Structure 1
Amino acid sequence: MAVLGVQLVVTLFTATVMHRLAPHCSFARWLLCNGSLFRYVHPSEEELRVLAGKPRPRGRKERWANGLHDEKPLSVPRDAPFQLATCPLTAVDALVLRFFLEYQWFVDFAVYSVGVYLFTEAYYLVLGPVQEANISVFWCLLTLAFSLKVFLMVTRLYFSAKEGGERSVCLTFAFLVLLLAMLVQVVREETLELGLEPGLASVIQNLEPVLKKQGWDWA
């Protein structure tokens, strides 16, 4: 651990745990399949026949006697008093959803990234290392990159649809975000001061000795 560094060991351990536990324990899968979401159960053919008033003949002879050897498609009246049953959504039901695997992988990766980030911040708070780079920033950048990838994937799907209002919804929200960005520009600087300059100065101060050891000219 002294050779690799604590943060690198934690990163390798987190990647191994994420790879091993993903098929068995998933936070994203639990969010959808914890019993809070329900789906409608498709009615059976017997229930539809009862509603249509056409019970299934018991045998082949009865079918021929009733003239049902050429059975017509079953039609159920629209005003039939039928109540669809519901059941909790399971992981098997969610597998047929589009982008479910991408959603599961991204949410799980974001959860592990938050865990690595919290551990790194606690590690810096307790020991205060100066000569060691912050690997949690790399995890955060990967999470941001994967979120942009999923966002562009879904947006491309919406724009490829010839019918429907998905394209209009995307354009409307894009102009809404642009309007909010323009409104933020009007707000005074004192209101939006987030302390970025002190944070940037701290990053430069921490990187300066590391880059000097590697032969970089620090201006």
Structure 2
Amino acid sequence: MALFGTQLIITMVAACVLQKLGPYYSLARWLLCSSGLRRYRYPTDDKLREAAGLAKNGKKKGKHEEKTDNGFLIPKNTEFELDTAPVEHFEVIGFNFYTEYQWLVDFAVWTMVVYAITECYSWLVGPRDEVNLSMLWCLMVLGFAVRLLGRLTAVFFRSTDGSGELEICAVSGLAYFVVSMVILVTSNDLLELQLEQAYGSFNESATHFLRAHGLGSSGPASMFAFRLLLAVLSGFAGAILMFPGLRYTRMHRDCIRVSSENRALQLLYHVNFVMPLLNVLTWVRPLSRAYLTEKDMPSTGAPLLSDAWFDSLRLWLLVATVVLRMLLMPRHLQAYLNISQDKLDRIRKEAGRIRSTELQKRIVSVYYYVCVAALQFVTPLILSLYLALMYKSLGGYSWLGAAPVSDPELSPLPAPPTADQLGSPSHHVTFTLAAVKRVFTPGFYRGLLGYLTWWTSFVMFTSSVVGSSLLGYT
């Protein structure tokens, strides 16, 4: 209990509340079914016959009209209106990926509650030698998010319709791998990724740990291997985040088009679009820290921000990006559901005829895919948010402008469990946690998690830019 203390109590209470209240109070269900979203109904056969001037037996004013078990043919320019209906829970509960979507969003919400309580407890009580179990919750959220993005991407690899999704995933992954290799060798004078400091801290502490146990070593890995591993992770992140970025870009374009008469709302959409770019620029030293913390303001003769407050501002900007996009999520999902009407408008501009079943399938397929669209919208935000939270806590930063925690001095480790203590789990846990704290220092987390947080924002913005370019040619 001394190892976990209050952290264990918070975790157990949160897990119990999640189990009891989760089925009744769900943010994921509210976003889909109670936020005012309306979907388009597909036209019935009788409505299509009436609009096309067909009799029930398939004849049209003396001309024989083809009719089969797969529907009947109607002119593509047939005029009729699509009916709308609210999105209902009993309908979406059977859609693909709805369970995964609800679990991810709701678990992320409860993880945020655990994290907030832990942060308040740490601020009131002060630092203690306890395990921060909220980091385990955040790590699980990241694992679930990456797993879901991987499953969504794997669907494209199993596709055999030749629509090009597999090629886009492969090309984007390789492109981001190359870009990350270029970025990883960039000097710290340009990007504040602190990867060299992270590697140095990890290598020094790991070497000290190995030598303390009689294992002579100059370090567990070289700097090249460290960078190569990060580049592979970056390429994988680029591959799984490309299609969510393309999906968001399509929603953004449709939102802008629908709100063409509301300039204030259009401005909000544009700010929402460029917020990841602002997050990326906060790591570019000449454009952010050098200007805000090193250059004296003419009015005051002092920098605008201190280094500690700049680090806090960077964290708040990441949180603001996620909050703004979540607030606008219902509008973006409604823009996605409006694709049904857009498809019908495009069909009417084509010449020839179309089968009734094919027309109905094209319209209703948008609604059946809404849970996937919701996942593609919200999962990158969850990745970005919880990477930022882990970056703050494990990197030793503060929300209120306090100086970051420095790496501890390399003091002797506690002795490993003896033969008499092998049956005591507490000795094993104590020794393991002390070793983990020794090897993985705040400096290591500042470099690793800072890079992953920055890279997520970078991919979110660049994939949106690529999507805007592709939509400009369609």
CA deviations 1:75-107 (Å, max 9, x no partner) are 433322112122232223322331111111012
Q: Is the 8 A contact 1:39 1:88 kept in 2?
A: yes
Please report how far the alpha carbon of residue 37 of structure 1 lies from its aligned counterpart in structure 2 after TM superposition: 3.7
Unaligned residue ranges in structure 1 (runs of 5+) = 58-70
- The residue number in structure 2 matching 1:91 is 89
Instruction: Give the TM-score of the pair, scaled to structure 1.
Output: 0.74
Q: Is the 8 A contact 1:46 1:55 kept in 2?
A: no
Q: Is the 8 A contact 1:39 1:89 kept in 2?
A: yes
Q: AA paired with 1:167?
A: L
For residues 23-172 of structure 1, what are the structure 2 equivalents within 5 Å?
23-35=23-35, 37-54=37-54, 74-163=72-161, 164-172=163-171
Secondary structure class of the residue paired with 1:133: coil
Q: Is the 8 A contact 1:102 1:150 kept in 2?
A: yes
Task: State how far apart, in whole Å, the 2-side matches of 1:202 and 1:210 are.
Answer: 20
Structure number with the bigger relative contact order (C-alpha 8 A, sep ≥ 6) is 2
Task: State how far apart, in whole Å, the 1-side matches of 2:111 and 2:43 are.
Answer: 43
Matched, 1:174 2:173: yes
Higher alpha-carbon Rg:
1
Distance 1:121 1:171, change over 3 A: same
Two-structure CA RMSD over aligned residues (Å)? 3.7
Q: Is the 8 A contact 1:131 1:210 kept in 2?
A: no
- The residue number in structure 2 matching 1:187 is 186
- The residue number in structure 2 matching 1:63 is none
Greater helix fraction, Structure 1 or Structure 2: 2
Task: State how far apart, in whole Å, the 2-side matches of 1:39 and 1:204 are.
Answer: 54
Task: State how far apart, in whole Å, the 2-side matches of 1:40 and 1:193 are.
Answer: 47
Distance 1:183 1:115, change over 3 A: farther
Q: Is the 8 A contact 2:52 2:75 kept in 1?
A: yes
Q: AA paired with 1:172?
A: V
Decide which moves more: 191-200 or 47-56. Answer: 191-200
Q: Is the 8 A contact 2:39 2:86 kept in 1?
A: yes
Please report how far the alpha carbon of residue 34 of structure 1 lies from its aligned counterpart in structure 2 after TM superposition: 3.7
Q: AA paired with 2:184?
A: Q
Q: Is the 8 A contact 1:131 1:209 kept in 2?
A: no
Q: Is the 8 A contact 2:39 2:84 kept in 1?
A: yes
Distance 1:209 1:76, change over 3 A: farther
Q: AA paired with 2:53?
A: G
Distance 1:13 1:77, change over 3 A: same
Please report how far the alpha carbon of residue 159 of structure 1 lies from its aligned counterpart in structure 2 after TM superposition: 0.6
- The residue number in structure 2 matching 1:5 is 5
Instruction: State, as a whole percentage, how many aligned pairs show the same letter.
Output: 31
Q: Is the 8 A contact 1:35 1:88 kept in 2?
A: no
Secondary structure class of the residue paired with 1:25: coil
Task: State how far apart, in whole Å, the 2-side matches of 1:105 and 1:210 are.
Answer: 40
Distance 1:133 1:101, change over 3 A: same
Please report how far the alpha carbon of residue 169 of structure 1 lies from its aligned counterpart in structure 2 after TM superposition: 2.0
Secondary structure class of the residue paired with 2:116: helix
Q: Is the 8 A contact 2:36 2:86 kept in 1?
A: yes
Please report how far the alpha carbon of residue 56 of structure 1 lies from its aligned counterpart in structure 2 after TM superposition: 5.4
Secondary structure class of the residue paired with 1:189: coil
Q: Is the 8 A contact 1:39 1:86 kept in 2?
A: yes
CA deviations 1:13-38 (Å, max 9, x no partner) are 21122222222221122222344543
Instruction: Give the TM-score of the pair, scaled to structure 2.
Output: 0.37
Q: Is the 8 A contact 1:35 1:89 kept in 2?
A: no
Distance 1:32 1:130, change over 3 A: same
Q: AA paired with 1:39?
A: R
Secondary structure class of the residue paired with 1:76: strand
Please report how far the alpha carbon of residue 150 of structure 1 lies from its aligned counterpart in structure 2 after TM superposition: 1.4
Secondary structure class of the residue paired with 2:153: helix
Distance 1:169 1:137, change over 3 A: same
- The residue number in structure 2 matching 1:21 is 21
Distance 1:114 1:180, change over 3 A: farther
Secondary structure class of the residue paired with 2:75: coil
